[in-house]
Structure 1
Amino acid sequence: MFTQHIPRTGKPVGNTKHTPAVRFGAALGTVALVSGFTLIAPAAASAEETTGASYAYAEFLSGDVLGTDLNNVAGLGQVVASNDGTQSLVVNRDPLSVDALGATVINQPGGLQLPLLDVVDAGVINQYAQADKDGESFASTGAIQDDGGIGIGNVAAGPAGDLTLDLDSLLDSEFASVLTDLKLDLDAVSARADGNMTSASGDYTLADATLSFSSPAISKLTSKVTSALSGVDSKLVSLGSDNGALGNSIDGILDPVLGVVGSSADVTVVVDVDLDKAVSSLLKGSYGDSGVSFNLETGAVMVDLETLLGSDLNDLPPNTELLTDAVVNKILNGITETVATLADDIVDRVELALRDANVEVSAKLNLLTTQDAVQNTVCRDIQVPIIGDILNGDSSGGGLVGGLLGGLTGGLTDGVTQGIIGYTTDTVCDLVTTTLPDLRSTVDVSIIGNVDDLINGTAVSAKADISLLGGTVKTGLKVNTLIGSLGKSLNTSLFSNGGVVTSLVNSLNTGLVNPAVTGLLGDSSVATVLHDLVSIKVNVQEQWTSTGAVSGDMFSETAVRVTVGSGLSTAGLASAGGLLNGALGQVTAAPSFASTGVATLSVARAVVGPNVQTVVDPNCTENCGTGGDPDGDPDPCVGVCLVGGSDFLDLPTYALGGQLAYTGAGVATLIALIVALLAAGAYFARQGYLRTHPKSEL
């Protein structure tokens, strides 16, 4: 037996002609082998990367308060579901307990301590996370069902999803004089995020959002108005006094007439009006409309943000700032305009009351005037005796006379006696002073009427009774003259520029309107706080790439994010509340998540990943990202449903450059293709070998 020798060189044995089919088969075999091994390597690598991995993460409350990371607070933990692509469905639920908040204390500068419960007051909340091996993930938190489905209010499972954030304690003390009791109440708040092999979407609910605060600048309305009205009452008393403008309007007419007696009447003018009663119906305390209500007694302000914005809080674009300059100005301008209008209404009521006020004028005088004494000469006639000689008589005639005189005189030597020999009449005059009785002067003026009638020259009743020096002096004074003078003075004193009404306007501006404007809109005011120190964002959507325990491209949906502090111009990049701390590892190439202020609180946050290439709007179902339908009609979703990292809803995209984890090609399909190529290559290679290496026959 022998074996035919097949030389290594020279012509081959057998048919050496290669058909096209053989040549193609050989080539295909080579390509299949090369391609197969080339493609098998990435497939193996992909298997090591667990291409079906999914991740879900939910937390109702996160953030940073005065340097305290809420993720480190007991009872505020997160719920996480992670699947490496080989596990069955992973589901985790965690009803949130806030009992631990009462024992948590936040250290503040200066050694002060703030219980966290002073900042956060929440009801029962649920958190839900689900991750499947097919790359699908789902997370939700807030007002949700046991299965993670979003509910509103008191759902069957119990959670209400309500939260109150007391922001007042986070503000600097310099604002205590202009704003207190700053709170944000959120009702039925929740968020969810859904992810699959390549894309993600997010949604949120917010039944109501109410911002409330108190401002001393708009409090104590009644006392402020009462103080202004008291000033008016004082002015009315002063005007009606004897030396006041109204009193002088009467004195100015009477004094020239009473000059004859050198006196003046006692004048009083009483303007009887109840100004407090006139404005009491205006001072109702509560005011406002269009979503803003406020109490001017307590200074409390309530802002229903949904009503104020005039839109559903559940239908807002991503990263919507609720406290925009326009919104804040609308709130505060509305309050100040109401206060100014109220002041105008008070002035109008007071003016009407003054015009209808009853006026009573009284002028009295009762005077006795003493008259000068009168001197008169009084004359009278008197008898004056005549003294003469009387004889004793002769011897023959010595009668009785002689005998008597002789006896009296003791006898005269000559016989001659002196005596009354007769009488004569004389007239005597005396100067006599006579005192006259005092003369009485009286004034009795009475005028009654309302202000408007008196200004128009009429009165309900009027009299002017004047009697001077017992009626000896005629005055000729008419009462209409007094009414005219009084009416002119009333108009000037009450209603002209510089009058009582003007003084009321100035008092209300000083005590009511100006403090409201300054306290709400001035420097270091409520506007300063709401414009510069507080941010409330709704529907916050973000993408980033993380490394660490779970690496990949993540998407998060946050229902509400509140930031308190300074530097809110960058509030869009404010604290994520330590979201990626621990479970997700360190964020790579993302901006700092440290708070730009003293606190940043994210309410209801859901995260999915780690394979997000595209983010879509779950409510956008037609023409998404096409820019329009084939007929050229505008795309209803343009600006809402965009694809790709850098274009995602105009939001910042963090470290999303380069190849993402998934290409979108099915691994099973790729392996099947490789196997088919390998099989075909092996077949044609075998056929080529047989043709070039025929079997030897014995």
Structure 2
Amino acid sequence: MVGLLAGLLAMVMAASSVTGGIVPTLASWNDREVAHGRLGVLDCTDPQGQFAARGAGTMISGSALGVDLDSAAEVQDAEVYQDGDRSWTEQGAPTDSFDAYFAPLGVTALEFLSVGLGFIQLPLDTETGVIGQYGQAQSTGESTGAAGLVNDEGVIALEPGAGEPQLATLELSELLASLDHDVASLVGDNVADVSLEAGALAGRATLDGCEAALSGALGASPLAAQAAELDQAVSREYLISSLQTSVESPAVGSLVQGVEGVLVNVEETVNGLSGNQGVVDSLVGGVSDLLGPLLGALRLGDVDASITANIDLSSVRTFLTEDFGDDAGILTIAPTAGTVSVDTAALLAAAYPDLYSNGLNGLPPNTDLLGDPAVVNALTVALGQALDDWLGDVQSLLTGAVDAVNVHVDVAVNLSAVLLILPVKIATITAEVDGSLGDLLQGDVSAQVDLRLLGVDLGVLEDLLIGLLNGLVGSLTNGLGLLVGTVVDDVLGPLGILGSTVTDLAQPIVTAVSGVYTGLYVDGLISLTVNNQNRPFTGSTDGPPEWADLPEGQYDVSALRLGVLDAAGDAGVRLHLGRGSVGPVCLLDVAAMPAGCPET
């Protein structure tokens, strides 16, 4: 028996000397270590030199109008590779001691995008590094990719909801025209232009390859594990400060012009009161009616009247140039520019208050923002409320301006009496009224009245006639103001009401803007998604179709994706803003370098 055991032991020893090592394993150990090639033990407290990795940040990615931005030489990203010994980039740019590379989006890229594509504008001064692209790949298995408003350490330099500057403007009308689509035919003739304005945004992805190895997610091929095994190893995040759709519509200008037409009519009527014979006749007739019951033995001679008035409509006209919106802050209507800008976050919060409490941030992977009719319903309500309130404010200002019309009226009344069977002119009464129309209508303005006797000997009738004259003076003093106000208001009152001719001009604005959202977003011509991820660990969607063929073990995220004619595939537009990408990452010395791992 002893001889047999000795023989077996010799055979094992001989076999060991021939193979030269132990078959590698990635079995998980209780002390968080993994044994691997040539008796090596992977310890994540010091995994230096054990991994090949990749990390990349790309501000603008995808394809548009036949241009593959991912391969365009003018649009270079920050992509870093690591083979376990050193790191490098495709551009050969040196990396720092942290195996990282930071590349602001340069002027060449901006010119290429704005001229080559035409529909995109990136107004930021990139020399300050505001639009950053960051990639990092370390031999420890850690990799990072980030782009957008990120600093030179790859950290998102943005607070949720912060009022950061606008980052990009996408001229959707020009884009659709390039794809042989006429905006007017899609959403109606009352739309001149549609643009999408994105505020500061960023996407960032990180991957801890050693953590993936310890969890059993890293094997003889790049990361191809289940979501639960990668949840601790892969992190993807994004932030968007704002996103709004701006609709330029002639309907906005038509509404303003309708109000301006009312203002001009009121203004011309006020300025023309002095030459309005009908108003003068009404004043003369009103004075005659006011004094007639008090004449007694007196006779009313000629009555002359003149009127001047002026109105100040500057407050109304200033208001017509000011932006306005709804109470919830969903939209802003700019009368001067003729645009309606809709805040996507506020709109979604109104449509789904329980889902969008954090605005556009913190949403599940691949969230389609505007593809639901409920969004249009919320928008229609907001537009109706904003326009109704605005028309009410215009009416209040106009009413106030009409009430403040300054009116000045002079009246002269000749009076006579029958003396010795002959009528004799005995006195002239002059009256002056000056005040605002509102005060005149309230009866708060007293007339300044002057009685001038003509020196006629009134004889025994003097006391009687003087008493009657004083009564006439009192009546003019107390009643002429209200009389003037009534006469002027009969003319100006109807003109100071906007009326249905103007208020009906609001509905075409609602129709135009809601038509844009229905025709472009709800009907699926254009899609806007945030937190775009391939192989997402949560949710049911598989992610952007153009990312379906990314290598196993590569994990990407973008803050915002614009898709136009997605069903058309490469013939459409698939544009990503703020993209971070990590992986594959591979454990070295596992028999052989797995396929897809970075190699020098």
Give TM-score, length-normalised by structure 1.
0.49
Are the counterparts in 1 of residues 373 and 518 from structure 2 also a CA contact under 8 Å? no
- 1:128 is displaced (CA, Å) by 1.9
Pair 1:522 & 2:512 matched: yes
* Alpha-carbon distance between aligned partners in 1 of 2:387 and 2:549, rounded to the nearest angstrom: 58
One of 428, 431, 437 as aligned partner of 1:446? 431
Q: Which residue of 2 aligns with 1:461?
A: 447
Gap change, CA 1:501 and 1:128, over 3 Å in 2: farther
One of 315, 340, 344 as aligned partner of 2:392? 344
One of 351, 362, 365 as aligned partner of 1:315? 362
Gap change, CA 1:501 and 1:558, over 3 Å in 2: farther
* Alpha-carbon distance between aligned partners in 1 of 2:321 and 2:547, rounded to the nearest angstrom: 60
Are the counterparts in 1 of residues 410 and 433 from structure 2 also a CA contact under 8 Å? no
Q: Which residue of 1 aligns with 2:117?
A: 116
Gap change, CA 1:142 and 1:522, over 3 Å in 2: closer
- Percent of pairs with identical residues: 20
| 1:311 aligned partner, one-letter code | N
- 1:227 is displaced (CA, Å) by 4.2
| 1:274 aligned partner, one-letter code | D
* Alpha-carbon distance between aligned partners in 1 of 2:342 and 2:514, rounded to the nearest angstrom: 21
- 1:560 is displaced (CA, Å) by 1.0
Deviations 1:155-181 (A, max 9, x none): xxxxx9984133253254537963547
Q: Which residue of 1 aligns with 2:107?
A: 99
Pair 1:361 & 2:409 matched: yes
Are the counterparts in 2 of residues 328 and 530 from structure 1 also a CA contact under 8 Å? no
Are the counterparts in 1 of residues 203 and 557 from structure 2 also a CA contact under 8 Å? no
One of 166, 169, 179 as aligned partner of 1:165? 169
- 1:320 is displaced (CA, Å) by 3.1
Are the counterparts in 2 of residues 360 and 448 from structure 1 also a CA contact under 8 Å? yes
- 1:601 is displaced (CA, Å) by 1.6
* Alpha-carbon distance between aligned partners in 2 of 1:478 and 1:98, rounded to the nearest angstrom: 87
Pair 1:285 & 2:271 matched: no
TM alignment of 1:409-420, pairs within 5 A:
none
Pair 1:229 & 2:263 matched: yes
Pair 1:152 & 2:157 matched: yes
Are the counterparts in 1 of residues 561 and 574 from structure 2 also a CA contact under 8 Å? yes
One of 108, 130, 135 as aligned partner of 1:128? 135
Deviations 1:579-604 (A, max 9, x none): xxxxxxxxxxxx87436xx6432112
Are the counterparts in 2 of residues 241 and 267 from structure 1 also a CA contact under 8 Å? no
Are the counterparts in 2 of residues 253 and 482 from structure 1 also a CA contact under 8 Å? no
Q: Which moved more, 1:122-131 or 1:542-551?
A: 542-551
Are the counterparts in 2 of residues 145 and 151 from structure 1 also a CA contact under 8 Å? yes
Deviations 1:349-388 (A, max 9, x none): 44345445443333458899xxxxxxxxxxxxxxxxxxxx
- 1:539 is displaced (CA, Å) by 0.7
Are the counterparts in 1 of residues 63 and 69 from structure 2 also a CA contact under 8 Å? yes
| 1:461 aligned partner, one-letter code | A
| 1:63 aligned partner, one-letter code | G
* Alpha-carbon distance between aligned partners in 2 of 1:331 and 1:492, rounded to the nearest angstrom: 45
One of 241, 261, 266 as aligned partner of 1:208? 241
- 1:66 is displaced (CA, Å) by 3.0
| 1:603 aligned partner, one-letter code | L
| 2:168 aligned partner, one-letter code | T
- 1:283 is displaced (CA, Å) by 5.7
Are the counterparts in 1 of residues 84 and 138 from structure 2 also a CA contact under 8 Å? no
User: What is the SS of the residue equivalent to 2:362?
Assistant: coil
Gap change, CA 1:548 and 1:531, over 3 Å in 2: closer
TM alignment of 1:189-200, pairs within 5 A:
189-194=202-207, 196=212, 197=218, 198=225, 199=227, 200=230
| 2:433 aligned partner, one-letter code | I
One of 466, 479, 492 as aligned partner of 1:500? 492
Gap change, CA 1:301 and 1:150, over 3 Å in 2: farther
Q: Which residue of 1 aligns with 2:578?
A: 604
* Alpha-carbon distance between aligned partners in 2 of 1:262 and 1:314, rounded to the nearest angstrom: 82
Q: Which residue of 1 aligns with 2:58?
A: 59
- 1:230 is displaced (CA, Å) by 2.6
Are the counterparts in 1 of residues 284 and 303 from structure 2 also a CA contact under 8 Å? no
- C-alpha RMSD of the superposition: 5.9
Q: Which residue of 2 aligns with 1:141?
A: 147
Are the counterparts in 1 of residues 205 and 235 from structure 2 also a CA contact under 8 Å? yes
* Alpha-carbon distance between aligned partners in 1 of 2:286 and 2:235, rounded to the nearest angstrom: 85
Count the aligned residue pairs. 457
User: What is the SS of the residue equivalent to 2:561?
Assistant: strand
Are the counterparts in 2 of residues 54 and 137 from structure 1 also a CA contact under 8 Å? yes
* Alpha-carbon distance between aligned partners in 1 of 2:323 and 2:104, rounded to the nearest angstrom: 37
User: What is the SS of the residue equivalent to 2:288?
Assistant: helix
| 1:119 aligned partner, one-letter code | I
* Alpha-carbon distance between aligned partners in 2 of 1:344 and 1:478, rounded to the nearest angstrom: 43
Deviations 1:140-193 (A, max 9, x none): 43444666x423169xxxxx9984133253254537963547342332512215
Are the counterparts in 2 of residues 212 and 300 from structure 1 also a CA contact under 8 Å? no
- 1:231 is displaced (CA, Å) by 1.6
Q: Which residue of 1 aligns with 2:30?
A: none
Q: Which residue of 2 aligns with 1:423?
A: none
User: What is the SS of the residue equivalent to 1:316?
Assistant: coil
Deviations 1:521-561 (A, max 9, x none): 43785555775565432212233699999754754322111
Are the counterparts in 2 of residues 102 and 117 from structure 1 also a CA contact under 8 Å? no
User: What is the SS of the residue equivalent to 1:170?
Assistant: helix
Gap change, CA 1:246 and 1:600, over 3 Å in 2: farther
One of 531, 534, 538 as aligned partner of 1:542? 534
Are the counterparts in 1 of residues 59 and 148 from structure 2 also a CA contact under 8 Å? yes
Q: Which residue of 2 aligns with 1:623?
A: none
Are the counterparts in 1 of residues 55 and 80 from structure 2 also a CA contact under 8 Å? yes
* Alpha-carbon distance between aligned partners in 2 of 1:463 and 1:549, rounded to the nearest angstrom: 95
| 2:135 aligned partner, one-letter code | Y
Are the counterparts in 2 of residues 183 and 211 from structure 1 also a CA contact under 8 Å? yes
| 1:68 aligned partner, one-letter code | V
Q: What 5-or-longer segments of structure 2 have no aligned partner?
A: 1-22, 27-36, 38-50, 90-100, 177-181, 213-217, 219-224, 350-356, 417-421, 459-464, 536-541, 592-600
* Alpha-carbon distance between aligned partners in 2 of 1:333 and 1:60, rounded to the nearest angstrom: 36
| 1:606 aligned partner, one-letter code | G
| 1:556 aligned partner, one-letter code | D
User: What is the SS of the residue equivalent to 1:244?
Assistant: helix
Are the counterparts in 1 of residues 149 and 158 from structure 2 also a CA contact under 8 Å? yes
* Alpha-carbon distance between aligned partners in 2 of 1:523 and 1:364, rounded to the nearest angstrom: 59
* Alpha-carbon distance between aligned partners in 1 of 2:321 and 2:166, rounded to the nearest angstrom: 31
| 1:315 aligned partner, one-letter code | G
| 2:169 aligned partner, one-letter code | L
* Alpha-carbon distance between aligned partners in 1 of 2:74 and 2:439, rounded to the nearest angstrom: 76
- 1:78 is displaced (CA, Å) by 5.2
Q: Which residue of 1 aligns with 2:41?
A: none
- 1:504 is displaced (CA, Å) by 2.9
Q: Which residue of 1 aligns with 2:336?
A: 297
Are the counterparts in 2 of residues 332 and 527 from structure 1 also a CA contact under 8 Å? no
Pair 1:185 & 2:189 matched: no
Are the counterparts in 1 of residues 305 and 409 from structure 2 also a CA contact under 8 Å? yes
Deviations 1:374-415 (A, max 9, x none): xxxxxxxxxxxxxxxxxxxxxxxxxxxxxxxxxxxxxxxxxx
Are the counterparts in 2 of residues 250 and 486 from structure 1 also a CA contact under 8 Å? no
TM alignment of 1:329-340, pairs within 5 A:
334=382, 337-340=385-388
User: What is the SS of the residue equivalent to 2:157?
Assistant: coil
